[in-house]
A and B are shown apart, each in its own frame.
Chain A
Amino acid sequence: MSKRIVIHEEHCIGCRLCEVHCLVQHSSSKDIVKAYGGERSHLMPRLTVEEDGPVSFALQCRQCEEPSCVEACVSGAMHRDPLTGTVVCDEDVCVGCWMCIMVCPAGAIQQNLLGTRIASKCDLCYGAELPACVANCPNEALTFEVVDEKGAAS
């Protein structure tokens, strides 16, 4: 069974450190000051902290069993990685048609217009033991667990 990011809304404090560390993880330098310095122009976090009053949670790709985004993708950029089973977007192939954004039931894909038009989504920090958002959440509001079909942590 593959692991998923489990959201614990009751523990999310809305600090947005997950967004910061997501951005750093997907920078080429992996250095927080450099990522927010010279590299900042084309980087954006691949997850979003949704907030409404005191309720907040970090939303990232839910890694659907049957991903609509893959089905809708016109260029074949959105695909399930054969090695890890993670749904990822091949940014070299993506044409920025935003069909994936239209069909994503979780609203977890964003437009990245900072460089070339690409769909920006969580890749579970491709191959990492622990995604950066989970590793750096100060309140354990995100965990990385094996989940069942309904999305409940086992």
Chain B
Amino acid sequence: MALSLATASFCIERDPARCIACQVCVRQCANDVHFYDADDDVVRSRDLTCVGCHRCVTLCPTQALSVRQNPLEFRPHANWAPAILRNIYKQAETGGMLLTGMGDDQPQRIYWDHMVLNASQVTNPSIDPVREPMELKTYLGSKPERLEITEDGEGATLRTEITPQLELDIPIMFSAMSYGSISFNACESLARAATEAGTYYNTGEGGLHPALYQYGPNTIAQVASGRFGVHLDYLNAAAALEIKIGQGAKPGIGGHLPGEKVTLDISRTRMIPQGTDALSPAPHHDIYSIEDLRQLIYAIKEATHYQKPVSVKVAAVHNIAPIASGIVRAGADIVAIDGLRGGTGAAPTMVRNNVGIPIELAIAAVDARLRAEGVRHRASLVAAGSMRCSADVVKAIALGADAVYIATSALVAMGCHLCQHCYTGKCNWGIATQDPYLTKRLNPNIGARRLGNLLRAWALEIKEMMGGMGINSIESLRGNRDHLRGIGLNAVELDALGIKAAGM
């Protein structure tokens, strides 16, 4: 066999004065990095397969372990960076596409970090959220053109029929992650946390496991190009349905769940044979136009007796504004847009890092376009694609989103360390895996608790920031770009975001 040119990404540092050879690291590493040498009664490590997930570091009872980036250096070259060389070595060896997991890791501009929020000083009062009511309640769905109210002697009656709405106690939902791409315990954690927090989680294209039907009132069920697990009970169990056209991490291509992950339980949930690859086609084979999309939206609405809002999820790409306009006109109640930095369980690296546009620009463009066309009220706008903290959420809503989807943040709350190796199925944190040894590592009681804590913490922070701006209802923040200023952005970027420069 020819020599591999692969070198280790990380180096394991083991402090021999602390290591007690308890072998917890050996048992916890699915990548076989650590091993016990019985002859010498010591634990040793092979660096080459370490993905930097920190499972061993976190569980080591004596803090004997650390993981560092391999200090091995190439001769500096501004054009041929080490990561590029390593990619070529890998492809020259395998002849395959480069695969990766999670969202874009390249240093494209993160516009959240170039926007700052406003606060009230002297001329208008700020509000203390601890002492005064602060409303985060959000309704997602189509809003009527106008309200007809009749008044008689006994009071006012609403005459306008309101189409179905999703009621959110906090404008943050868990984005689509399928049972298959993540473990059952991860799905259960999300479902329980969403239920407890009064928000929603999304099934992705993985169908709905029978044990999760009880969380149906807080479930958004996805209908994607592979139609996996879609049947009448599935549609009826959920609170809303979402047609997935695209995903921010891999716009234009479909999902691929390798056969090894299609266990008996997943095969039943997805309604496909056990052990077969679950390939979602790149396009929906029945959608080649806005008119076709309208047919599917209304087919779903008919099937569910117009009782549930229908969302359409697209990746943020060029011309996203007219695309979103078309989706609204096709009858969608919610438009979900997933930006460049959105995550995935598996995507070709080149696609993940190079296709799509940042969500900040997409929200600004879509909100402005829908307002200009006078159709903004006909659908709610949900932003996805890397909301890392509550400030990102506040900025997204100020740019024009009604609510946001989080997924990477949710996974991190459950233990994910962004090692980006979800596609290997060897997630040491029990999240992106179906290996029964590994899935046990995520106790859904702990997962749901940690997710609930994250939502609670973000809600507190959002209220604090809103109070500072003198706003006591999230509705007053929506599309309120006056509360945003750009820092270090050029005139074109400020214009695209529809915000003023800081100091203006």
Binding site for B on A (CB under 8 A): 10-17, 20-21, 32-33, 36-37, 53-54, 136, 138-141
Which residue on chain A has the smallest CB distance to residue B21?
A36
CA–CA, A36 to B20, complex, Å? Answer: 6
Across the interface, do A32 and B443 meet the contact criterion of CB distance under 8 Å? no
Across the interface, do A17 and B440 meet the contact criterion of CB distance under 8 Å? no
CA–CA, A17 to B18, complex, Å? Answer: 15
Known: A33-B62, A139-B446, A140-B446. A20 touches B441 (CB 8 A): no
For B18, the chain A residues whose CB sits under 8 A away are 33
CA–CA, A54 to B18, complex, Å? Answer: 29
Whether, in the assembled complex, B28 has its beta carbon less than 8 Å from a beta carbon of chain A, the answer is: yes
For A140, the chain B residues whose CB sits under 8 A away are 443, 445-446
Known: A32-B61, A33-B18, A138-B59. A16 touches B24 (CB 8 A): yes
Across the interface, do A15 and B20 meet the contact criterion of CB distance under 8 Å? no
Contact with B441, one of A13, A36, A37 (Cβ below 8 angstroms): A13
Across the interface, do B61 and A139 meet the contact criterion of CB distance under 8 Å? no
Contact with B443, one of A11, A21, A36 (Cβ below 8 angstroms): A11
Across the interface, do A141 and B443 meet the contact criterion of CB distance under 8 Å? yes
For A10, the chain B residues whose CB sits under 8 A away are 440
Known: A20-B61, A32-B62, A54-B436. A139 touches B441 (CB 8 A): yes
Most chain A Cβ neighbours within 10 Å, of B24, B28, B61, B62:
B61
Which residue on chain B has the smallest CB distance to residue A24?
B61
CA–CA, A109 to B20, complex, Å? Answer: 25
Across the interface, do B443 and A17 meet the contact criterion of CB distance under 8 Å? no
**Ranked 7 nearest A-B pairs via Cβ:** A36-B20, A54-B436, A11-B443, A54-B437, A139-B443, A20-B22, A13-B441
CA–CA, A146 to B437, complex, Å? Answer: 30
Chain B 10-47 near chain A by CB (<8 Å), digits 1 or 0 = 00000001101111100110000000000000000000
Contact with B59, one of A17, A37, A54, A141 (Cβ below 8 angstroms): A17
Chain B 291-331 near chain A by CB (<8 Å), digits 1 or 0 = 00000000000000000000000000000000000000000
Contact with A12, one of B17, B20, B440, B446 (Cβ below 8 angstroms): B440
Which residue on chain A has the smallest CB distance to residue B439?
A54
Q: List 26 A-B contacts (CB under 8 A).
A: A11-B443, A11-B445, A12-B440, A13-B430, A13-B440, A14-B27, A14-B437, A15-B27, A16-B23, A16-B27, A17-B22, A17-B61, A20-B20, A20-B61, A21-B61, A32-B20, A32-B61, A32-B62, A33-B20, A36-B20, A36-B21, A36-B22, A54-B436, A136-B61, A139-B441, A141-B443
CA–CA, A141 to B436, complex, Å? Answer: 16
Across the interface, do A16 and B440 meet the contact criterion of CB distance under 8 Å? no
* CB-contacts of B423-444 with A (<8 A): 430, 436-437, 440-441, 443
Other 7 A-B pairs with CB < 8 A, given A32-B62, A54-B436, A138-B59: A14-B27, A16-B22, A16-B23, A17-B59, A20-B61, A54-B437, A140-B446
For A136, the chain B residues whose CB sits under 8 A away are 61
How many residues of chain B have a CB within 8 Å of chain A? 20
Across the interface, do B441 and A17 meet the contact criterion of CB distance under 8 Å? no
Would you give the shortest CB distance from B499 to chain A, in whole angstroms?
A: 45
For A12, the chain B residues whose CB sits under 8 A away are 440
For A32, the chain B residues whose CB sits under 8 A away are 20, 61-62
CA–CA, A36 to B59, complex, Å? Answer: 17
Across the interface, do B440 and A15 meet the contact criterion of CB distance under 8 Å? no
Would you give the shortest CB distance from B39 to chain A, in whole angstroms?
A: 18
Contact with A15, one of B28, B62, B445 (Cβ below 8 angstroms): B28
For B21, the chain A residues whose CB sits under 8 A away are 36
Would you give the shortest CB distance from B424 to chain A, in whole angstroms?
A: 18
Which residue on chain A has the smallest CB distance to residue B61?
A20
Would you give the shortest CB distance from B186 to chain A, in whole angstroms?
A: 14
CA–CA, A113 to B282, complex, Å? Answer: 65
Contact with B24, one of A20, A36, A139 (Cβ below 8 angstroms): A20
CA–CA, A37 to B22, complex, Å? Answer: 12
Chain B 444-476 near chain A by CB (<8 Å), digits 1 or 0 = 011000000000000000000000000000000
Which residue on chain B has the smallest CB distance to residue A40?
B20
For A53, the chain B residues whose CB sits under 8 A away are 436
For B436, the chain A residues whose CB sits under 8 A away are 53-54
Would you give the shortest CB distance from B194 to chain A, in whole angstroms?
A: 21
CA–CA, A123 to B440, complex, Å? Answer: 28
For B27, the chain A residues whose CB sits under 8 A away are 14-16
For B440, the chain A residues whose CB sits under 8 A away are 10-13, 54, 139
For A13, the chain B residues whose CB sits under 8 A away are 28, 430, 440-441
Most chain A Cβ neighbours within 10 Å, of B17, B18, B21, B437:
B437
CA–CA, A15 to B230, complex, Å? Answer: 38
Across the interface, do B24 and A15 meet the contact criterion of CB distance under 8 Å? yes
For A141, the chain B residues whose CB sits under 8 A away are 443
CA–CA, A54 to B434, complex, Å? Answer: 12
Would you give the shortest CB distance from A60 to chain B, in whole angstroms?
A: 18
Would you give the shortest CB distance from A38 to chain B, in whole angstroms?
A: 12
For B443, the chain A residues whose CB sits under 8 A away are 11, 139-141
Would you give the shortest CB distance from A116 to chain B, in whole angstroms?
A: 24
CA–CA, A11 to B430, complex, Å? Answer: 11
CA–CA, A132 to B4, complex, Å? Answer: 46
Would you give the shortest CB distance from B53 to chain A, in whole angstroms?
A: 15
Which residue on chain B has the smallest CB distance to residue A143?
B445
Which residue on chain A has the smallest CB distance to residue B25?
A15
Would you give the shortest CB distance from B56 to chain A, in whole angstroms?
A: 10
CA–CA, A138 to B28, complex, Å? Answer: 12
For B441, the chain A residues whose CB sits under 8 A away are 13, 139
For A37, the chain B residues whose CB sits under 8 A away are 20
Would you give the shortest CB distance from B359 to chain A, in whole angstroms?
A: 34
For B446, the chain A residues whose CB sits under 8 A away are 139-140
Which residue on chain A has the smallest CB distance to residue B440?
A13
